[in-house]
Amino acid sequence: NPLPVVNVNATATEICDGETVTITATSDIPGSTYLWTTTETTPNIVVSPSSTTTYGVTVTSPDGCTSTAEVTITVYPNPVLNITANTNVICDGETADLTVTSDIPGTTFLWSTTETTPNISVSPSGTTTYTVTGTSPEGCTGTADIEITVNPLPVVNVNATATEICD
């Protein structure tokens, strides 16, 4: 009896943490059964590994002959972003300087202001939340927010009992 020829395909072999992948095994012998290292027994499995993982499948033909195959899914981390500001509270008309950093070198940034540099200056007219998205070289993303509170300028009224006086 021939051994089954097993093919394993994944919708992606490189993913970002939190994403899912469908892995499909096929056999050239009709009626074969499947047993994955995850203990699932269907030809297709959906996985969401949190770290790089190798998935194996054993295919058994109706005659009891077996073959195995495997696929490795590489998992890349999402960048963790940290925003700092020289001040989180400004008066109307003032400026706050915002800086974002990432734990992954080579991360690119896109602020809600459409700026793409790690350092930006903002002068909101009212309390505003700024969001930045970081994209790692592998295409994984992370976001962070910071709120800048804007205090209004005081309204000053001056009254005098007389507008002209003698020296």
Residue for token pair 């998992």: 75
Looking at residue 44, its pLDDT comes to 97
Q: How far is CA 140 from CA 47, 49, 104, 133, 135, in A?
A: 18, 15, 10, 10, 5
14-16 and 66-76 beta bridge pairing: parallel
Q: Whole-angstrom Cα distance, residue 114 to residue 97?
A: 16
Kindly tell me the number of DSSP H helices and DSSP E strands found in the chain.
0, 14
pLDDT of 125? 94
Q: What is the pLDDT of residue 7?
A: 97
Residue among 43, 158, 145 at smallest CA distance from 98:
145
Question: In one letter, which amino acid is 30?
Answer: P
Question: Tokens 């002209």 belong to which residue?
Answer: 164
Write out the chain's pLDDT in tens, 167 residues.
999 999 999 999 999 999 999 999 999 999 999 999 999 999 999 999 999 999 999 999 999 999 999 999 999 999 999 999 999 999 999 999 999 999 999 999 999 999 999 999 999 999 999 999 999 999 999 999 999 999 999 888 888 787 788 87
For the chain, how long is the longest CA-to-CA vector?
Answer: 122
Amino acid at 155: V
